[in-house]
Amino acid sequence: MRITILGGGGFLGKKLAARLARDGSLGGKPITGLTLFDLAAPPAPSAPFPVQCLGGDVADPAAVAAAIPAGTEVVFHLAAVVSAAAEADYDLGMKVNLNGTLAVLQACRALGTKPRVIFTSSVASFGGGQDAVVPDDGRQVPTNSYGAQKAIGELLLQDATRKGFLDAVSIRLPTVMVRPGRPNKAASSFVSAILREPLLGLSTDCPVPPEFAVWICSPRSAMEWFLHAATMDTSAMGIDRGINPPGRSATVAKMLGALEAVAGHAAREKVGFVFDKEVFDIVVGWPAAFEAERARRLGFAEQESLEDLVRAFIEDDLAATKAERGL
Amino acid sequence: MRITILGGGGFLGKKLAARLARDGSLGGKPITGLTLFDLAAPPAPSAPFPVQCLGGDVADPAAVAAAIPAGTEVVFHLAAVVSAAAEADYDLGMKVNLNGTLAVLQACRALGTKPRVIFTSSVASFGGGQDAVVPDDGRQVPTNSYGAQKAIGELLLQDATRKGFLDAVSIRLPTVMVRPGRPNKAASSFVSAILREPLLGLSTDCPVPPEFAVWICSPRSAMEWFLHAATMDTSAMGIDRGINPPGRSATVAKMLGALEAVAGHAAREKVGFVFDKEVFDIVVGWPAAFEAERARRLGFAEQESLEDLVRAFIEDDLAATKAERGL
């Protein structure tokens, strides 16, 4: 089985490549080749199969077609300009998030073999805000350009699925925490920072109040969902290819409680509160909870507890993050 | 006030141009210029203001920019490839319905003056089928490419509104009946044909059974909704720029009853039933009823009765249709 990861150099793309390299197979079928594609050619994990690493623009149809060679059975389309960046630069967001997805659609269609496409959509495609509990048939009324572009990508891939060009599953990812590395341009960057920075021994400011709730998932859950979406029987989904996976609704106070439970009071004390209106105005529009019953019925795994999530970051990413940041 | 109609050569575009020419003003402001744009330059109505008629491709950004000159305050974006044609030719539908709307967005944005844009979306952007009564926050899960492209257009224009590039109102038009002229490539062409053809003295076959229900509106209602959307205070809409207008849910049997009430038994007897699976499979996915409470609150006028709708066709369009078809 040949697999492509678009956005293979990003946080989730690298974790997914490492997981596939470790497993050597997907859904019981041996992996025979992996192509990693990102703006700069991503590093290749050591793997029991050939890994091809390509650099290019996801909005360039020729570059994307080269990254999805004949015989590709599964495409993970994780390439995107994130929320605050897409809000700050509308044209860049449209280019990468809209034209990029169109290029992926056309490259997959050109294969003529209906590859499975796993698309990372986002909680940011919903409006609703703090009080919302989004039902499975909740309408996407995005309050930001990133969310609008993701909702459009879902519609494109859903229609392409109905037309028989490909076989899409769009996972509307919650805010993924704890992200390793450094703060990034996502408006939700603080959600990881308030756990990661203290675990690195650093102080950080939270830009929203303690009672602010976020719909979150761990990188480990995201990986389980990606692999399930790549191997599940999609016929049970019918025409509707968007999935609200079973993440977890958590307040900042609860996250800090989990931090304290795992890493002690001193870690908790590293987090201060400095309100940031620009960040708040973006994230306040994202719903803080989802029903996610359809995803459970379709076999998507439950998110682990916040304490387990903190421990997983320590196990999986803390050492590498320390090394990367020279700490 | 300068106004542009994209798709100004189509059925609704021509009616709208004639209405504006007759009124001479919009929302109490005199019209100072009207640009009509279509694939072939549309005919100019006689009007008390200058009318510019342009031919071009709505997917060509330069052609669209020329059709939306500086000072344009209102753009009616009616240009589209209709349902069955977009289903038969995916690439043509994507070009006109997606790239066309992107070109309109960019042309309006380039003005820097935030023009009002009235976009004709469609009931075809919803799934649900015969049993659905779509609530105002009903989710769009299109069962055809035309509907997907319309839902995408709504998302694009809604986000462009939020960004301050333009000021959009998307009207999800019911199936418009009675259309003058000849049958066209819309899957819903029969909805008009079963009234129009008998009124022309011609026989016609209905491809769906008598109990089949359709969410319909008249050309007169569509005009009222367009003019209201062009002049209403949009601040009451908030971020959500999609409108389910107050159309009417009617079975084929009821439509034929109205035909008989207005035009007699002989007219009713001109309609036979010959099931057409290809047409049925498209239209069966469209919901047959909507709540439309939000549109009523926002001042969109109620659809007239079926009998009045039949009489309006006789008054407005029967003679011209007879002449056009040499009857």
| Max mean pLDDT range (A187-201, A278-292, B272-286) | A187-201
C-alpha torsion angle, residues A83, A86, A89, A90 (rounded to 10): -140
Task: Give tens-digit pLDDT for A40-73.
Answer: 999 999 999 999 999 999 999 999 999 999 999 9
Task: Kindly state the tokens that stand for B81.
Answer: 């490839």
d(CA B73, CA B70): 9
Task: Give tens-digit pLDDT for B200-230.
Answer: 999 999 999 999 999 999 999 999 999 999 9
- The answer to whether residue A23 scores a pLDDT higher than 80 is yes
CB A148 within 8 A of CB B155: yes
The CA-CA-CA angle for residues A38, B156, B234, to 5°, reads 150
Strand B2-6 and strand B204-206: the pairing is unpaired
Task: Give tens-digit pLDDT for A188-198.
Answer: 899 999 999 99
> Nearest CA to CA, how far is B181 from chain A (Å)?
31
Q: Are residues B33 and B112 in the same domain?
A: yes
**pLDDT given for residue B286 in this prediction:** 85
- In the numeric block, the tokens 């507890």 are attached to A305
Q: Are residues A150 and A131 in the same domain?
A: yes
Q: Are residues B108 and B207 in the same domain?
A: no
The CA-CA-CA angle for residues A146, A147, A152, to 5°, reads 100
d(CA B121, CA A122): 24
Task: Give tens-digit pLDDT for A127-181.
Answer: 888 988 999 999 999 999 999 999 999 999 999 999 999 999 999 999 999 999 8
Inter-axis angle of helices B306-316 and B189-199, nearest 10: 70
* Domain assignment of residue B183, yes or no: no
B146, B225, B226, B300: the active-site residue:
B146
A:277-316 residues touching chain B, CB 8 A cutoff: none
Distance of CA B63 to the CA centre of its chain: 22
Average pLDDT over residues B62-89: 95
> What's the number of domains chain A is made of?
2
Q: Are residues A64 and A206 in the same domain?
A: no
* Domain assignment of residue A262, yes or no: yes
- The answer to whether residue A103 scores a pLDDT higher than 80 is yes
B:129-158 residues touching chain A, CB 8 A cutoff: 137-143, 145, 148-149, 151-152, 155-156, 158
d(CA B21, CA B47): 5
Q: Which tops the pLDDT comparison, B296 or B187?
A: B296
Q: Are residues B275 and B228 in the same domain?
A: no
Q: Is A94 helix (H, G, I), strand (E, B) or coil?
A: helix
* Domain assignment of residue A29, yes or no: yes
Domain CATH code at residue A305: 3.90.25.10
Q: Are residues A252 and A301 in the same domain?
A: yes
* Chain A contact set for B151 (CB, 8 A): 155
Q: Which tops the pLDDT comparison, B284 or B297?
A: B297
Q: Are residues B127 and B209 in the same domain?
A: no
Phi-psi region of B238 (alpha: psi -120 to 50; beta: other; left: phi over 0): left
Chain B contact probe: residue of A122, A141, A294 with most B CBs at under 10 A: A141
Task: Give tens-digit pLDDT for B251-270.
Answer: 999 999 999 999 999 999 99
* Domain assignment of residue A274, yes or no: yes
* Domain assignment of residue A308, yes or no: yes
Domain CATH code at residue B21: 3.40.50.720
The answer for residues whose C-beta is within 8 angstroms of residue A292's C-beta and 6 or more apart is: A136, A244, A245, A246, A247, A300
CB A196 within 8 A of CB A271: no
- B127 and A CB contact within 8 Å: yes
Please give the radius of gyration of chain A, using alpha carbons only, rounded to the nearest integer.
Answer: 19
d(CA A36, CA A44): 8
- The answer to whether residue A83 scores a pLDDT higher than 90 is no
Q: Are residues A298 and A154 in the same domain?
A: no
d(CA A175, CA A87): 17
Q: Is A315 helix (H, G, I), strand (E, B) or coil?
A: helix
Contact A141 B239 (CB under 8 A): yes
Q: Are residues B92 and B231 in the same domain?
A: yes
What sign results for the dihedral spanned by CA atoms B74, B121, A58, B161? positive
Q: Are residues B141 and B265 in the same domain?
A: no
Say whether B146 is catalytic. yes
ipTM reported for the complex, 2 dp: 0.95
Lowest mean pLDDT among B63-67, B96-100, B281-285: B281-285
- A118 and B CB contact within 8 Å: no
Give the model's confidence band at A305: pLDDT under 50 very low, under 70 low, under 90 confident, else very high: very high
Contact B239 A155 (CB under 8 A): no
pLDDT above 70: percentage of residues in chain B? 100
* Domain assignment of residue B293, yes or no: no
Q: What is the mean pLDDT of chain A?
A: 96
Task: Assign 3-class secondary structure to chain B.
Answer: CEEEEECCCCHHHHHHHHHHHHHCEECCEECCEEEEEECCCCCCCCCCCCEEEEECCCCCHHHHHHHCCCCEEEEEECCCCCHHHHHHCHHHHHHHHHHHHHHHHHHHHHHCCCCEEEEEEEHHHCCCCCCCEECCCCCCCCCCHHHHHHHHHHHHHHHHHHCCCCEEEEEEECEECCCCCCCCCCCCHHHHHHHHHHHCCCCEEECCCCCCEEEEECHHHHHHHHHHHHHCCHHHHCCCCEECCCCEEEEHHHHHHHHHHHHCHHHHCCEEECCCHHHHHHHCCCCCEECCHHHHHCCCCCCCCHHHHHHHHHHHCHHHHHHHCCC
Distance of CA B191 to the CA centre of its chain: 14
* Chain A contact set for B99 (CB, 8 A): none
**pLDDT given for residue A157 in this prediction:** 98
d(CA A41, CA A37): 6
**pLDDT given for residue A84 in this prediction:** 84
Chain A contact probe: residue of B98, B122, B159, B284 with most A CBs at under 10 A: B159
* Domain assignment of residue B11, yes or no: yes
d(CA B263, CA B223): 25
Strand A213-217 and strand A248-251: the pairing is antiparallel
> Nearest CA to CA, how far is A98 from chain B (Å)?
10
- A175 and B CB contact within 8 Å: no
Q: Are residues B169 and B52 in the same domain?
A: yes
Q: What is the mean pLDDT of chain B?
A: 96
> Nearest CA to CA, how far is B165 from chain A (Å)?
11
| Full residue range of the structural domain in which residue B309 is found | 189-214+248-288+301-324
**pLDDT given for residue B83 in this prediction:** 82
Q: Are residues B261 and B162 in the same domain?
A: no
> Nearest CA to CA, how far is B58 from chain A (Å)?
18
Contact A138 B139 (CB under 8 A): yes
Neighbours of B28 (CB within 10 A): 7
* Domain assignment of residue B184, yes or no: no
Average pLDDT over residues B167-194: 92
- B170 and A CB contact within 8 Å: no
The answer for residues whose C-beta is within 8 angstroms of residue A326's C-beta and 6 or more apart is: none
Select from A90, A96, A83, A98 the least CA-distant residue to A149.
Answer: A98
Average pLDDT over residues A239-262: 98
Task: Give tens-digit pLDDT for A185-229.
Answer: 778 899 999 999 999 999 999 999 999 999 999 999 999 999 999
Q: Is the peptide bond before A96 cis (omega within 30 degrees of 0)?
A: no
pLDDT above 70: percentage of residues in chain A? 100
**B152 → closest Cβ in A138, A143, A156:** A156
**pLDDT given for residue B41 in this prediction:** 98
